Amino acid sequence: MQTRNYVPENHRPLSATPPRVAGWLLGILLAPLTLTTLPAPTAWGQAASGFAPAPKILLPNQPVPGGQAPPAAELPAPVEGPGSRLAPAQPAAYVDEELAELTPEERINIAVYEKAHLSVVHIETRTVQSNGFFGAAENEGSGSGSVWDARGHILTNYHVVAGAQQLLVTLHDGQQFEATLVGADPPNDIAVLRIEAPPEALSPVEPGRSERLRVGQRVFALGSPLGLEQTMTVGIVSSLNRTLPSQGHRLMKSIIQIDAPLNRGNSGGPLLDSRGRLIGMNTAIASRVGESSGIGFAIPSATISRIVPQLIRFGRINRPSIGIEAVAEVEQGLLIVETVPEGPAEKAGLQGVRVVRRRTVFGDILRRDYSTADIMTHVDGVPVNTVDDLLSAVESKQAGDVVRVTVERSDQTSAIIPVRLTSDRRSGE
């Protein structure tokens, strides 16, 4: 029998209390290039730009000099929300004459803004932190969000609101409401707030399908960059299925890369298609200077649609658990460092590192014996080489499902061990 001597330098916990993400900078690609989330500093309760929504514009279905206007069915119908401060409507003939001078692309831009800006909110945060002998310091920040439904639920990024003691939401017409945190999913950087606003004051965003996106498709980013509310920028889908580092050694997957300019304060704002439908939520940029460089990232609406209903209902995500507390990455797969006592993995017979206690005249000495631990190589036939591989394999299942874990044991034999998953009570913490 051969003896294995694995002494990994770093253990990777499968669950950890996430640190605050506001102001988060992570290295990406090259050292000078950083991945920056987009909260912005602000003065509490004050708008940087005021509120001046554009006048409602009617979209005629008529020929345009030099080209044919798109059919009306292809353009989103403008929506006038309750209480919006819109300028008096101009005569239709006059508006038609103005629109006749615009290109079809400009008409689509206008239509998307007219439809969607009513759903965009400005979020201000206030956090009080103790400075020891120097007392407490107040930190204020801001971000963006979308009205999710008529019950007052607001969609935004977790890093926008993480650690905030006070939340203030400003609607498109300037109405302000104190908000409470309903639930959050830090690994996917998603949070849901709620405000006590009358339904007639809310214009929920229309959901779209990020699964149907194509590279080159036009997209529209709305939000409050640098505190400038009701701002829209236009770009295209630059790439699909990107990954971004998240909390707890996680990766956010299926991320949309865009070239629409994003700046601090855009975080949490909606990414829309040419029909004004929500296809993503703006979350980060890759930049050497911390401002827009034409490389932005958005969480896809497919992820949002899966996460938000659970946050509204439970306040957290009900993720399944395999009952493994920590692993170490080794050449062959993942070495099990620690299992949850009486958890699914331990009950199924998976073995972690053995802790050996030795008494001396100087006290007890603890030593970890890595040679006894199982090494996981596959889950349901899929290789697992990183923490994210294991979490992705487990979280694609439901609590109560059985997964088959392939392990290499200390005696150099392999085994396939069925493990029944349970609910992870710490989800969303």
Active site residues: 159, 189, 267
Give the angle subtended at the CA of 137 by the CAs of 225 and 226, to the nearest 5°.
5
Q: State the Cα–Cα distance between residues 150 and 205, nearest whole angstrom.
A: 10
Do 278 and 205 contact (CB within 8 A), yes or no? yes
Bridge partners (DSSP) listed for residue 251: 245
Determine whether 240 is exposed, middle or buried from the number of CB atoms within 10 Å of its CB (0-12, 13-18, 19+). middle
Looking at residue 370, the DSSP 8-state letter turns out to be G
Q: Encode 385-414: b = buried (16+ Cβ within 10 Å), e = exposed.
A: ebbbbbbbbbbebeeeeebebbbbbbeeee
Q: State the Cα–Cα distance between residues 171 and 337, nearest whole angstrom.
A: 49
Q: Encode 37-66: b = buried (16+ Cβ within 10 Å), e = exposed.
A: bbbbebeeeebbeebebeebbebbeeebee
Characterise 159 by phi-psi region: left (phi > 0), alpha (psi -120 to 50), beta (else).
Answer: alpha
Q: State the Cα–Cα distance between residues 181 and 403, nearest whole angstrom.
A: 34
CA pseudo-torsion sign 389, 391, 394, 398: negative
Q: State the Cα–Cα distance between residues 84 and 113, nearest whole angstrom.
A: 14
Relative to beta strand 30-37, strand 25-28 is: antiparallel
Q: State the Cα–Cα distance between residues 140 and 155, nearest whole angstrom.
A: 20
Unique residue bearing structure tokens 């190589």: 377
Do 141 and 128 contact (CB within 8 A), yes or no? no
Q: Is 395 helix (H, G, I), strand (E, B) or coil?
A: helix
Q: State the Cα–Cα distance between residues 200 and 83, nearest whole angstrom.
A: 8
